[in-house]
Amino acid sequence: MKETRRLNVGVLGAGRIGRVHAENLAYRIPEARVEAIADVIVEPAQKLASDLGITNVFQDPRAILENKDIDAIIICSSTDTHAQLMDDAAANGKHIFCEKPIALDLAKIDRALAAVEKAGVKLQIGFNRRFDPSFKRVRDLVASGELGEPHILRITSRDPAPPPIAYVQVSGGIFLDMTIHDFDMARYLMGSEVEEVYAAANVLVEPEIGKAGDVDTAVITLRFANGALGVIDNSRKAVYGYDQRVEVFGSKGVAIAENKTPDSVVKSDTAGVHAALPLHFFVERYAEAYVQEMRAFVQAVLEDRTPPVTGLDGRVPVVIGYAAKKSAEENRPVRLSEIDR
Amino acid sequence: MKETRRLNVGVLGAGRIGRVHAENLAYRIPEARVEAIADVIVEPAQKLASDLGITNVFQDPRAILENKDIDAIIICSSTDTHAQLMDDAAANGKHIFCEKPIALDLAKIDRALAAVEKAGVKLQIGFNRRFDPSFKRVRDLVASGELGEPHILRITSRDPAPPPIAYVQVSGGIFLDMTIHDFDMARYLMGSEVEEVYAAANVLVEPEIGKAGDVDTAVITLRFANGALGVIDNSRKAVYGYDQRVEVFGSKGVAIAENKTPDSVVKSDTAGVHAALPLHFFVERYAEAYVQEMRAFVQAVLEDRTPPVTGLDGRVPVVIGYAAKKSAEENRPVRLSEIDR
Amino acid sequence: MKETRRLNVGVLGAGRIGRVHAENLAYRIPEARVEAIADVIVEPAQKLASDLGITNVFQDPRAILENKDIDAIIICSSTDTHAQLMDDAAANGKHIFCEKPIALDLAKIDRALAAVEKAGVKLQIGFNRRFDPSFKRVRDLVASGELGEPHILRITSRDPAPPPIAYVQVSGGIFLDMTIHDFDMARYLMGSEVEEVYAAANVLVEPEIGKAGDVDTAVITLRFANGALGVIDNSRKAVYGYDQRVEVFGSKGVAIAENKTPDSVVKSDTAGVHAALPLHFFVERYAEAYVQEMRAFVQAVLEDRTPPVTGLDGRVPVVIGYAAKKSAEENRPVRLSEIDR
Amino acid sequence: MKETRRLNVGVLGAGRIGRVHAENLAYRIPEARVEAIADVIVEPAQKLASDLGITNVFQDPRAILENKDIDAIIICSSTDTHAQLMDDAAANGKHIFCEKPIALDLAKIDRALAAVEKAGVKLQIGFNRRFDPSFKRVRDLVASGELGEPHILRITSRDPAPPPIAYVQVSGGIFLDMTIHDFDMARYLMGSEVEEVYAAANVLVEPEIGKAGDVDTAVITLRFANGALGVIDNSRKAVYGYDQRVEVFGSKGVAIAENKTPDSVVKSDTAGVHAALPLHFFVERYAEAYVQEMRAFVQAVLEDRTPPVTGLDGRVPVVIGYAAKKSAEENRPVRLSEIDR
């Protein structure tokens, strides 16, 4: 394809993340054009389409999947629909951007990835945090060798507030819903695979989460293939906002990505020195990352290159998530090979 | 006007800042639509229009000024054309966004402002820094009284590199070209008018600037009507990048806006602890501010409100600039009333 | 005792830490007076005594232990002598400040603590980090409830360079020699006992350390009695210096103690923004903490109060250390009750 | 003199600063010994002597000045006594450490300096801030050329609270009492002499200060012999504490010394991100600097070297102070040559 061609995309799912991607495609990525939007619930799709001046709105995704003018689809619907939509999109020769996770079931994931492979379409998984300028900078410092051999990874990942209990009940649990991003970040930053996980977890934030069979606070130890060690700490509720920090310590130095704030003002008064809280939640914190990930997808398709977050990148964190879940349940370190066989 | 109406704008001038505004209007402000672009040099206008998918490109601004479908014009051409274009736009009933300065000649400014007033069109001057989230936060802290009575203002404003000598020769000098932004910031932050200026200046960066009759380094003291004192320090060349900091010290506390960086990574190695340099120059540093100022203009027009940076706000910094110039030449404090009479 | 009385102390051990304590007692704590110094190796003791203007120098500690004019002894000799010296000091009615650890053998510790208890003398263990102003401030924020219920503890503790291999061979291993400080810090900050430990460890810094049967890099998960989770990460070699940070995350907020630097200068140049590395090692980093801990000991004795770091505080971290060691060897979480029975 | 000799000093003045120096000499500088203390008011002198275990306490300074066993005197009495005590000390062959300012009268200063010169004794003036590790680091970066040619100096110097009005009335005014430290800092950091001063000042903090004929808020522009420009901003009342920052901007970069805090803890809660206020006032902020300056004096005497802050260094800031005062009164830039002739 020539660089001057525009990529025609269809967006499946008009919820919060669907809106983020559609707006970015419409306003921030001149090389792409949102041709159509579909959602089983028609109203938000129509509102989104109207806001962006898009005329094609559907309830049935097939109207998009079978549209010859559409080159690629952006899957932002609920998790349980991802794998089937990937199958269908692949069968229709559409390139695919799919929100994480592909599915909660490894067999389903494998079938979907096989369908994509067979169809030869491009696939990118929505691990947006890789495109955050600060995390990318840390990755670059590791990859370039400026930090030497990586020895210790630290990820702090805390949400400003827990999701509704109804969501917790179907989310697959904290490790598959929330920590999955951190597992991806761990692989991305270290450039080495996780081999074993030990998860210590508890219900400290919200008893209802415990009643739903989940935990809300966790400290997870990772052992990497290269011998390095890592730790992720999670909480469903940081009252001061979305806490997203990473640190890689290596033989030549350490790199720490601090939180991102809406302004750089420091105020001092009789009570102390005060600065702004972190940006509230993922939509604000990763606004730039969402643009960059979609731009990377569009460019990869237009330039016929492999997208930067592959199907395998979408699969491995689910395996780590199951290992963490098992570890927390059995209170012992669990090797990934116990899950993935 | 209804909120759902779009504002049709024409952009005059397709240089660096014209491109910034046109792109923001096209991609970031759904309520506006760039109908046409004009530039005396046709090529950059055609390139810009092509990039944004705009079909109407002209060499003569009249083609835009006289177009009935256009509601507002964005003046981004060279400074010497601003006042006349404002006159013409006002005569044609167009709302006006005009880059600073309106003109270097106070009489010209006054004529243009009178024309705008007579025509009853809306006018916003391009003092973009007011829309930077950090500076706006400092202003809010002053306006809300959280800092008490403001006593001391400090502005550090240093460019990464001097402009070409050819530009220095026609720019009106550092006080009218560069410090003018800081004079606006001073009025904005303090909410009080400057009454007297003392400018100490020198040629320390580039002897050619001195040969062109200008200076490249300055420390400027301001006396405000409310009794407060201020200081601006300028340099045409900060090798570490664009240094843009402000501080307001008051009876109840101090607020400091620090520089803005592309990432939040801190790296430590045997040589020290290292962080990112400030964003390179105004296009990067004020990217968000440019969007916000244009959004404010579009909304003010659509909602029939007075735009947040008025014609007077465009005029006063020019007066302060002349006072600073006179002060530097005569090495004595100069009252604004000496210039503006 | 009256406040105006001076405490006469004898220092046992004239090595690095003995010198720190002797100098602080001589120059920083007017309420104390160093009467005598003893060391099995006479030279450093004589040098130290001469520097401080102290006339009584001995090779045999009994000359101090049996001196009626001495109120308290400061045990800074090698670890294997601590317990016996405590016994002897207690038998002679001397108050005791003892460097950590009391011993590597729990039975020995228990005998020494019993002897102290029986004699009714005061005992303080040298966990100096508790007296660091930043760590103390974090503890105060936890104790006052300002952070709410503590949920997650993070300690980063990395040395600038590994000790000599000869020392590694007799130190008891990283968990009993280095992490022991962090185990104390964990109990101190959280105000809750550790119940279970999981230690993931590896040899990444120095193969010789592995050959000596030890590890040099570790990530240790802690479970506290109050349900909170903690993580300590250790490295024997941080090339950028002594990295000593703690973080307590609770239901009402988070407190983070950053590293301490020799100056507050930030330099920006074409290569970036640069700040000072952390203070080099424990003598510099905890200079103030060493003064404060000794002052606390002297005051506790003079005012007949229980010293702030008790014998139990000296014993528990050794138990945690053995649990961590066992955990690393068996790659499973180990409860403290498995060690301490 | 041999390095092993101790310097016997007498302290004249047992007020706040006399106590600081006496304690440092007694506890922090093993090479010195406080032999005697004198104060016209006997009580504080006796208290101080008792605290430090010093037996010789006098009301009449001559008892110290004429004591053959005393090598050096530390002048900490009221400003109006400094010059005469210097004369007397010089006449008695004592080395002299004298608090700033030497006198408020240039003729008196010159007589005192001549007496010192004639007697050939060593003299150090108490500009303690030069010994602050952060300011010293900035100076080193300038002196080493790492910042290139210095172009702009910024000093922020704000006290936590104004002195009593009774003190304001005899202090010589803000420029001679408070800014004098900043004038010294300016010369020290830049390594170039100030040639001209412009001071804009006002009464914004406390009307009583105005009634006493003084000002409480000032912005002072400096022109240096090397062409560089500088600015000092002062306030008698920063509600958030002692604000002491400096910045040198040069052709190769910028160095900024930030405030010093009692701890490095950052707390985040729902209200924001909070850090500690600066250390309260000069005794806390410059605690280390006071030790270092006295150590430098003692070593200079013992090693027969010129002390690092000379009589000239004590004189020039007084000249700048008078120029600033004249400038503020006449609202015009004043050259130092107008004062010093």
- Please name the residues in contact with D153: beta carbons below 8 A apart, sequence gap of 6 or more: D186, D189, D190, D222, D224, D228, D229, D230, D231, D246, D247, D248, D249
Query: How many Å lie between the alpha carbon of C99 and the closest alpha carbon of chain A?
Result: 30
Does D27 contact chain C (CB < 8 Å)? Answer: yes
pLDDT digits over D191-222, tens only?
A: 999 999 999 999 999 999 999 999 999 999 99
φ/ψ (deg, to 5) at C158: -130, 130
pLDDT digits over B145-179, tens only?
A: 999 999 999 999 999 999 999 999 988 999 999 99
Asked if D217 lies within 8 A of B253 by C-beta distance, the reply is: no
**Which residue of A lies nearest to C277 if distances are taken between CA atoms?**
A253
**Which residue of C lies nearest to B241 if distances are taken between CA atoms?**
C270
CA B269 vs. chain centroid, Å, equals 40
Tokens of A81: 């629909």
Q: Is C4 left (phi over 0), alpha (psi -120 to 50) or beta?
A: alpha
**Which residue of D lies nearest to B220 if distances are taken between CA atoms?**
D221
Asked if A249 lies within 8 A of C204 by C-beta distance, the reply is: no
Asked if C205 lies within 8 A of A251 by C-beta distance, the reply is: yes
CB of A176 within 8 A of CB of A325? yes
Tokens of D16: 């706040």
Tokens of D5: 């000799």
- Please name the residues in contact with B216: beta carbons below 8 A apart, sequence gap of 6 or more: B162, B174, B202, B203, B204, B205, B206, B209, B210, B235, B236, B237
Q: How many CB atoms lie within 10 A of CB D78?
A: 11
Tokens of D112: 């005192």
Neighbours of chain B (3+ CB pairs under 8 A): A, C, D
* Cα–Cα distance for residue pair C29/D23, rounded to 1 Å: 11
Does A271 contact chain C (CB < 8 Å)? Answer: no
* Cα–Cα distance for residue pair C341/C335, rounded to 1 Å: 11
A-chain CB neighbours of B253 within 8 Å are: 267-270
Query: How many Å lie between the alpha carbon of A232 and the closest alpha carbon of chain D?
Result: 20
C-chain CB neighbours of A331 within 8 Å are: 333
Asked if B273 lies within 8 A of C274 by C-beta distance, the reply is: yes
**Which residue of A lies nearest to C223 if distances are taken between CA atoms?**
A200
Q: Please provide the average confidence, as pLDDT, over all residues in chain A.
A: 96
Asked if C265 lies within 8 A of D141 by C-beta distance, the reply is: yes
CA D309 vs. chain centroid, Å, equals 10
What pTM value is reported for the model?
0.95
pLDDT surpassing 70 at residue B1: no
φ/ψ (deg, to 5) at D83: -65, -45
- Do the bridges between strand B95-98 and strand C334-335 make them parallel or antiparallel, or are there none, so unpaired? unpaired
Residue of C190, C229, C234 to mutate, testing the A interface (most A Cβ within 10 Å of its Cβ): C229
Does B217 contact chain D (CB < 8 Å)? Answer: yes
**Which residue of A lies nearest to C231 if distances are taken between CA atoms?**
A219
* Cα–Cα distance for residue pair B319/B310, rounded to 1 Å: 15
Query: Which pLDDT tens digits describe chain D residue by residue (341 residues)?
Result: 344 579 999 999 999 999 999 999 998 898 999 999 999 999 999 999 998 889 999 999 999 999 999 999 999 999 999 999 999 999 999 999 999 999 999 999 999 999 999 999 999 999 999 999 999 999 999 999 999 999 999 999 999 999 999 999 988 999 999 999 999 999 999 999 999 999 999 999 999 999 999 999 999 999 999 999 999 999 999 999 999 999 999 999 999 999 999 999 999 999 999 999 999 999 999 999 999 999 999 999 999 999 999 999 999 999 999 999 999 999 999 999 999 87
Establish, for the pair of chains A and D, how many residue pairs have beta carbons separated by less than 8 Å: 42
> C residues 52-91 near A, CB within 8 Å?
none
Residue of B27, B265, B274, B280 to mutate, testing the A interface (most A Cβ within 10 Å of its Cβ): B265
SS3 content of chain C, % helix, strand, coil (to 5): 40, 25, 35
* Cα–Cα distance for residue pair A102/A124, rounded to 1 Å: 11
DSSP letter at D304 equals T
Asked if C275 lies within 8 A of B270 by C-beta distance, the reply is: no
SS3 content of chain B, % helix, strand, coil (to 5): 40, 25, 35
Q: Give pLDDT, residue D340.
A: 86
pLDDT digits over D42-58, tens only?
A: 999 999 999 888 999 99
* Cα–Cα distance for residue pair B283/D79, rounded to 1 Å: 55
- Name which of A298, A315, A320 is nearest A11 in CA terms: A298
| Residue B303 half-sphere exposure toward CB, CA atoms < 13 A | 11
Asked if D229 lies within 8 A of B332 by C-beta distance, the reply is: no
Helix (H, G, I), strand (E, B) or coil at D308: coil
* Cα–Cα distance for residue pair C133/C139, rounded to 1 Å: 10
Query: How many Å lie between the alpha carbon of B235 and the closest alpha carbon of chain C?
Result: 15
Residue of C137, C157, C196, C231 to mutate, testing the A interface (most A Cβ within 10 Å of its Cβ): C231
* Cα–Cα distance for residue pair B212/B234, rounded to 1 Å: 18
Residue of C156, C182, C198 to mutate, testing the A interface (most A Cβ within 10 Å of its Cβ): C198
- Please name the residues in contact with A173: beta carbons below 8 A apart, sequence gap of 6 or more: A213, A214, A215, A321, A325
Between helix B42-52 and helix B16-23 the angle, nearest 10°, is 20
Among B241, B270, B276, beta carbon nearest to C239: B270
Does D277 contact chain B (CB < 8 Å)? Answer: no
Does B276 contact chain C (CB < 8 Å)? Answer: yes
Among D249, D252, D333, beta carbon nearest to B235: D249
Asked if C134 lies within 8 A of D263 by C-beta distance, the reply is: yes
φ/ψ (deg, to 5) at B234: -125, 145
* Cα–Cα distance for residue pair D97/D75, rounded to 1 Å: 6
Between helix B179-190 and helix B311-330 the angle, nearest 10°, is 120
pLDDT surpassing 90 at residue A53: no
φ/ψ (deg, to 5) at C135: -65, -40
Confidence of residue B5 (pLDDT cuts 50, 70, 90): confident
CB of A284 within 8 A of CB of A151? no
Asked if C254 lies within 8 A of A240 by C-beta distance, the reply is: yes
D-chain CB neighbours of B162 within 8 Å are: none
φ/ψ (deg, to 5) at D161: -160, 150
Does C256 contact chain B (CB < 8 Å)? Answer: no
CB of C9 within 8 A of CB of C32? yes
Q: Give pLDDT, residue D51.
A: 87
CA B305 vs. chain centroid, Å, equals 21
What ipTM was reported for this prediction?
0.95
Does B108 contact chain D (CB < 8 Å)? Answer: no
Tokens of B139: 């202003």
Asked if A274 lies within 8 A of D273 by C-beta distance, the reply is: yes
* Cα–Cα distance for residue pair D292/D296, rounded to 1 Å: 6
A-chain CB neighbours of B260 within 8 Å are: 264
* Cα–Cα distance for residue pair D198/B111, rounded to 1 Å: 37
Neighbours of chain A (3+ CB pairs under 8 A): B, C, D
- Do the bridges between strand C72-75 and strand C217-224 make them parallel or antiparallel, or are there none, so unpaired? unpaired
Q: Give pLDDT, residue C4.
A: 59
Asked if C267 lies within 8 A of D259 by C-beta distance, the reply is: no
Tokens of C13: 């051990």
Query: Which pLDDT tens digits describe chain C residue by residue (341 residues)?
Result: 344 579 999 999 999 999 999 999 998 898 999 999 999 999 999 999 998 889 999 999 999 999 999 999 999 999 999 999 999 999 999 999 999 999 999 999 999 999 999 999 999 999 999 999 999 999 999 999 999 999 999 999 999 999 999 999 988 999 999 999 999 999 999 999 999 999 999 999 999 999 999 999 999 999 999 999 999 999 999 999 999 999 999 999 999 999 999 999 999 999 999 999 999 999 999 999 999 999 999 999 999 999 999 999 999 999 999 999 999 999 999 999 999 87
- Please name the residues in contact with B203: beta carbons below 8 A apart, sequence gap of 6 or more: B209, B210, B214, B215, B216, B217
Tokens of D310: 């000379």
Neighbours of chain C (3+ CB pairs under 8 A): A, B, D
pLDDT surpassing 80 at residue A4: no
SS3 per-residue string spanning B152-196: EEEEEEECCCCCCHHHHHHCCCHHHHCHHHHHHHHHHHHCCCEEE
- Name which of A145, A151, A199, A142 is nearest A176 in CA terms: A199
CB of B279 within 8 A of CB of B242? yes
- Do the bridges between strand D265-269 and strand C253-257 make them parallel or antiparallel, or are there none, so unpaired? antiparallel
Among D133, D252, D264, beta carbon nearest to C134: D264
Query: How many Å lie between the alpha carbon of B31 and the closest alpha carbon of chain A?
Result: 10
Asked if C219 lies within 8 A of A221 by C-beta distance, the reply is: yes
The secondary element (H helix, E strand) that includes residue C306 is none
CA-based angle B207:B213:B216, to the nearest 5?
55
Residue of A141, A196, A204, A335 to mutate, testing the C interface (most C Cβ within 10 Å of its Cβ): A204
SS3 per-residue string spanning chain A: CCCCCCEEEEEECCCHHHHHHHHHHHHHCCCEEEEEEECCCHHHHHHHHHHHCCCEEECCCHHHHCCCCCCEEEECCCHHHHHHHHHHHHHCCCEEEECCCCCCCHHHHHHHHHHHHHHCCCEEECCHHHHCHHHHHHHHHHHCCCCCCEEEEEEEEECCCCCCHHHHHHCCCHHHHCHHHHHHHHHHHHCCCEEEEEEEEECCCCHHHHHCCCCCEEEEEEEECCCCEEEEEEECCCCCCCEEEEEEEECCEEEEECCCCCCCEEEEECCEEEECCCCCCHHHHCHHHHHHHHHHHHHHHHCCCCCCCCHHHHHHHHHHHHHHHHHHHHCCCEEHHHHCC
CA distances from D46 to D52, D56, D82 (A): 10, 9, 21
Tokens of D265: 């803890």
**Which residue of C lies nearest to D147 if distances are taken between CA atoms?**
C269
**Which residue of C lies nearest to B273 if distances are taken between CA atoms?**
C275
